[in-house]
Amino acid sequence: MSELNLSDANLYYEVHEATRPSNNPPLLLVAGLASDSQSWQPALHALTQDRRIILLDNRGSGRTRAPNEITLTQMAQDCLALCDHLKIDQIDLLGHSMGGCVSLNVARMAPERIRKLIICNSTSRTGARNDMMFTDWADALDEAGATARWYRTFFYWIFTREFFNNEQALQQLVNLVMNYEYGPNAVTYRSQVNALKGFDATAWLSQITTQALVIASSEDLIFPPGDDASGLAALPNAQVDVIPGLAHSLPLEAPRVFGERVLGFLNR
């Protein structure tokens, strides 16, 4: 648990060593909208079996302190600055949801630094519906704060229907996020929404020639595979893996399946 002091931000990050000796490059995980380094906790056990894992809190989330006006480009630059700070020349890079948009920017800016790229439950363009929906979530957070109702409304979009059949698990998750000291606030959440709004990589996606895996979930309501995974398939060296029966929050709801897909690709 450390902090990298940049000229305009204090970047919180964590390094989790592999549980057994490994010569594999480190894997940097970039979280999605309103999420931070702690959102990867369920998947860490699987991923650290033979990987050094690097986590960070994006600008506008968790313990990273930065100006309220932020961009995806700045978040991508933060990833590269962290690699420089840790003296890592080349990484494997995985971005989930908004983190996938950040990771595409990293791969575009510094392709020589990325050995393999994984884009999970993400998109090549956000589209008008999602831009409006994310803004509505920001407005609701402005009006009432991070209430249990606000979180549940968010959860309806990111988990499977089956998840809600377990009321105890749902309530435990609501309690967990409600009591999390570094949860989203209205100002920083909106700054991430504004950074993501209008994202469109379709004009430059073909420039990213890094070997890539696009992971999608068949029940993803935010970035449905038929629209968004197929758009990311325009990456020249990408394969697409659509996982049946799962939704947007794949690393949290199905960490074992997520870990198997990630390590299977990285270790090939």
Per-residue pLDDT tens digits for 137-165: 999 999 999 999 999 999 999 999 999 99
Predicted local confidence at residue 228, as pLDDT: 86
- Tell me 111's DSSP state: G
Query: Residue 1: is its pLDDT beyond 80?
Result: no
Predicted local confidence at residue 190, as pLDDT: 97
Predicted local confidence at residue 50, as pLDDT: 86
Within a domain: residue 142?
A: no
- The pLDDT tens digits for 83-108 are 999 999 999 999 999 999 999 999 99
Query: Residue 131: is its pLDDT beyond 80?
Result: yes
- The pLDDT tens digits for 14-50 are 999 999 888 899 999 999 999 999 999 999 999 998 8
Within a domain: residue 141?
A: no
Query: Once rounded to an integer, what is the mean pLDDT over residues 115-121?
Result: 98
pTM score of the predicted model: 0.97
Within a domain: residue 34?
A: yes
Q: List the beta bridge partners of residue 30.
A: 95
Q: Are 241 and 261 in contact (CB under 8 A)?
A: yes
Within a domain: residue 89?
A: yes
Q: DSSP of the chain, one letter per residue?
A: -EEEE-SS-EEEEEEE--SS---SPPEEEE--TT--GGGGHHHHHHHTTS--EEEEPPTTSTT-B--S---HHHHHHHHHHHHHHTT-S-EEEEEETHHHHHHHHHHHH-GGGEEEEEEES--SB-HHHHHHHHHHHHHHHHHH-S-HHHHHHHHHHHS-GGGGG-HHHHHHHHHHHHT-TT---HHHHHHHHHHHTT-B-TTTGGG--SEEEEEEETT-SSS-IIIIIHHHTTSTTEEEEEETT--S-HHHH-HHHHHHHHHHHHT-
The structure tokens 């313990």 sit at 63
At residue 127 the predicted structure's pLDDT band, cuts being 50, 70 and 90, is very high
Predicted local confidence at residue 230, as pLDDT: 87
Average pLDDT, the chain: 96
The structure tokens 């209008």 sit at 198
Structurally, the chain folds into a number of domains equal to: 1
Q: Over pLDDT 90: what percentage of the chain?
A: 94
Q: Over pLDDT 70: what percentage of the chain?
A: 100
Range of the domain at 41: 2-126+199-266
Within a domain: residue 192?
A: no
Q: Give the CATH number for residue 230.
A: 3.40.50.1820
Within a domain: residue 106?
A: yes
Within a domain: residue 139?
A: no
At residue 227 the predicted structure's pLDDT band, cuts being 50, 70 and 90, is confident
Predicted local confidence at residue 229, as pLDDT: 86
Within a domain: residue 117?
A: yes
Q: Are strands 10-16 and 27-30 parallel, antiparallel or unpaired?
A: unpaired
Residue type for position 205: L
- Report how far residue 228's alpha carbon sits from residue 101's, in angstroms, rounded to the nearest whole number: 12
